[in-house]
Amino acid sequence: MTTTMDINDVGMTAFFIAHFRDAERDRADGLFDDPYSRWFVPDEVRTYAEKFAELCPEFETLIRCRLLFFRELVREQIEYGVRQVVSVGAGFDTRPAIFRTEGVTFFDVDQPAVVQYKRDVLEGHGLEPWPAVAGNYLDVNLPRRLQEAGFDPDLPSLFIWEGNTMYLPRNLIFGFLNQLDAELPAFTIAFDYMSTRVVNCSTGVDSVNAVFDYFYEQFTPFITGFDDPGVFERATPLKIAASGGMEEVFHSRAPQYAGALAPLAGLYSYCILVK
In a domain, 62, yes or no: yes
Nearest partner of 220 among 91, 118, 65, 41, judged by Cα: 91
Residues 6+ away with beta carbon under 8 Å from 26? none
| Cβ–Cβ under 8 Å, residues 162 and 243 | no
Return the pLDDT at 48. 76
* In-domain check, residue 16: yes
Any domain includes 146: yes
What is the average pLDDT across 116-136? 96
**Quick check: 275 and 187 in contact, CB under 8 A?**
yes
- Whether 51 shows a pLDDT value over 80: the answer reads no
100 has pLDDT over 70: yes
Residue 1 domain flag: no
Quote the CA–CA distance of 174 and 172 in Å, as a whole number: 6
43 is a domain residue? yes
Q: What is the average pLDDT across 162-182? A: 97
* Residue 119 clears pLDDT 60, i.e. is over it: yes
User: Is residue 174 in some structural domain?
Assistant: yes
User: What CATH number should be reported for the domain holding residue 153?
Assistant: 3.40.50.150
For residue 271, give the H/E element and its range.
Answer: strand 268-274
Query: Mind giving me the DSSP string for 17-64?
Result: HHHHHHHHTTSTT-S---SSGGGG--HHHHHHHHHHHHH-HHHHHHHH
Q: Domain tally for the chain?
A: 1
Residue 11: the pLDDT is: 62
**What's the rounded Cα separation, in Å, for the pair 30 and 243?**
25
pLDDT 10s digits, 15-40: 888 988 998 888 888 889 999 999 99
Lowest mean pLDDT among 22-31, 75-84, 122-131: 22-31
Considering only residues 12 and 152, tell me which one the structure prediction assigns the higher pLDDT.
152
| Nearest alpha-carbon partner for 226 in 158, 157, 177 | 177
Is 2 inside a domain boundary? no
Q: Residue 125's domain spans which residues?
A: 7-274
Half-sphere CA count of 127, side-chain side, radius 13 A:
20
Spell out a b/e string for 97-120, using b for 16 or more CB atoms within 10 Å of the CB, else e. bbeeeeebbbbbbbbebbbbbbbe
- What is the dihedral angle through the alpha carbons of 105, 111, 112, 118, rounded to the nearest 10 degrees? -60
How does pLDDT run across 174-188, given as a tens digit for each residue?
A: 999 999 999 999 999
Residues in the chain: 275
